[in-house]
Structure 1
Amino acid sequence: MYNKNKQVRTNTPPSQLQAGMTLEMTVARKTDIGYFLRSDKDEVFLHKNEAHGPLDMDDEVEVFLYHDHENRLAATMDLPYVGMGEYGWLEVVDLSSRMGVFLDNGINKHLLVFVDDLPKLRDEWPRPGDRMLVALKQDKLGRLLAKPVTEQEVMQISVLADESMKNKNVEATVYKVIAAGAFLLTEDDYIMFIHRDEMTERMRIGQTVRCRVSFVREDGRLNGSMRERKELQYGEDAEKLLRYMNNRDGAMPYTDKTEADIIQEKFQMSKSSFKRALGKLMKERRVEQVDGWTKVIKTD
């Protein structure tokens, strides 16, 4: 969990209670279902389900303030994973196409990332089980919401990479998606960018992937790829073509002259990758091209 500015918890009474505060309060009254807590002249209700065991009059307890499901300011002794002035990774627990994404912040009520703070394309939204890097904010009514971290906040988290990272495999989680690709933060807090051409699938916010560092930039950031290094990828593509032909009597009606869109549809690889793989097989005398067909060379 990242803490930009660890929230100060204090016995000093605030002038007005607000959602997102973590503070010490005193038990002022008890009821059958809970406790009224007091800080200076302000009171807030703590339900028994939100207390860590029975409380007595004048007990002092540390609580977090939030709006309950009936939109009333309430207290809980369950402290959040991320408080005001902090940011961290929270797990996605539910989605609403109308409202947005709900996150588990360690208390009974889930935290909403509003639809306006999410990508316009729904397939770039996170899915349940993904993790989002977020901070807290309040709406106009003072209710707590989560928001994706800003680039400035990510810069405060991140560390600079050196050349030793090149070609290493890392795990990284997407925190931002743009038209050209995706920005990720690795498990060791390096910022990485993966261009769309280096993806093996369309990426979404909150997705964690295994990828390779393809380049270390002068500013300490990384460029990444979900593809194997070219010399390894050539071999995998070549074997894929061989399997395709062997399953079809050792031949296919595709050559290095075949249109790129047909290659992409049939083999899910670019025309250049197809030609490199085909060239490898021809150089090794494993296939030949005859009359618009590619055929496996039979060996006795």
Structure 2
Amino acid sequence: MNNNLAAELTAIVTDKNEDQLFVQKNGVTYKVLSDVQASIGDVLKGFAYADKQDALVFTTDIPAIRPGTYGWGEVVKVNRKLGVFVDIGWPDKDVVVSMDDLPAEGRLWPKEGNRLFLSVKVDEKGRIWGILAEEAQFFDDYVEGTKDMHNNDVKGTVFHLKKSGTYAITEEKLILFIHPSERESEPKMGETISGRVIGLREDGVLYTSLKPRAHEVMEEDAMMLLEVLKRSEDGEIPFHNKTDPETIKNQFGISKGQFKRAVGRLMKRNLITQDEHGTRLTDFPAEDKE
């Protein structure tokens, strides 16, 4: 096995033509990817690996992600029988994170465009694999949250999935924890999530909710109700705040409390009026009721 794969090394320029340089180390030849000026016999320092075509290549630009160092890579392809391919910044090379290192449930695998924090390793057959950072590595270098962050909007990348909840980390290295009760569905590994801070754990981890704020939910319900009124024949519906809850639930798919809040929000904006006969748009004339 070539022990110089995915490794920093010094090599001697052994061949040169108009378009290409070649270097050699321990009798193994590598094609130089970097645009460097060198002559035969010069010594270059760089990084060697096998590209997508298994050709041995050498770059003088040492990559940020290499054995022993971690960084963020982007998922570029998903193969259910193998794992996910990740772009880690190596020219003409993506690394595979094995399916053995991904969630057992396929629906929680990262998808294209998601980000993973990883390093690389070379196995006994000379294959280069991506290896995900352990949970402890995120906690080694994180920023503790503070009480004044309560209700702040936050955005983070999911790095760990547990039965107790989901962990994500922000660009500022704040760690977020989302309890299953504070999400509509479980985020994927590597997914970017947006939420709001709802509490502070003793160790500075921010309890986070992915559910919309109450006023945002109310706004959605109000928009839905307004759309129903606009689509009605005369800008009116035979439902009001005295209508029984089951009827409202069957008709609109929301609770009576949500219905009343939506009505209140629309009335506050003078978009609707309501009486014992129903609810109507303000720009439709009210008809006399028998």
Structure showing greater Rg: 2
CA apart distance, 1:153: 0.8
- Counterpart amino acid of residue 100 in structure 2: D
- Counterpart amino acid of residue 106 in structure 2: R
Name the residue aligned to 2:149: 165
Preserved contact between residue 157 and residue 170 of structure 2 (Cα < 8 Å): yes
Distance 1:135 1:289 in 2: 66
Name the residue aligned to 1:77: 60
Question: Do the aligned partners of residues 190 and 83 (structure 1) sit closer, same or farther apart at CA in structure 2, a change above 3 Å counting?
Answer: same
**Count of aligned positions:** 267
| Range 141-150 or range 234-243, more displaced | 234-243
Name the residue aligned to 1:23: 9
Stretches of structure 2 that go unaligned for 5 or more consecutive residues are: 268-272
Q: TM-score, normalised by structure 2?
A: 0.77
Mapping of residues 2-17 of structure 1, within 5 Å: 17=3
Of 94, 117, 142, 1:133 maps to 117
- Counterpart amino acid of residue 51 in structure 1: S
Question: Do the aligned partners of residues 251 and 189 (structure 1) sit closer, same or farther apart at CA in structure 2, a change above 3 Å counting?
Answer: farther
Preserved contact between residue 30 and residue 48 of structure 2 (Cα < 8 Å): no
| Identical amino acids, percent of aligned pairs | 25
Mapping of residues 1-300 of structure 1, within 5 Å: 17-27=3-13, 29-30=14-15, 34-38=21-25, 42-48=26-32, 50-69=33-52, 71=54, 74-107=57-90, 108-200=92-184, 202-230=186-214, 232-240=215-223, 242-243=225-226, 245-246=228-229, 247-248=231-232, 249-251=236-238, 256-257=245-246, 267=253, 274-280=255-261, 295-296=278-279
Superposition RMSD in Å: 3.3
Preserved contact between residue 73 and residue 89 of structure 2 (Cα < 8 Å): no
Preserved contact between residue 102 and residue 113 of structure 1 (Cα < 8 Å): yes
| Range 125-134 or range 82-91, more displaced | 125-134
Name the residue aligned to 1:11: none
CA apart distance, 1:154: 1.0
SS in structure 2 opposite 1:157? Answer: coil
Q: TM-score, normalised by structure 1?
A: 0.74
Preserved contact between residue 46 and residue 76 of structure 1 (Cα < 8 Å): no
Preserved contact between residue 124 and residue 204 of structure 1 (Cα < 8 Å): yes
Distance 1:258 1:156 in 2: 54
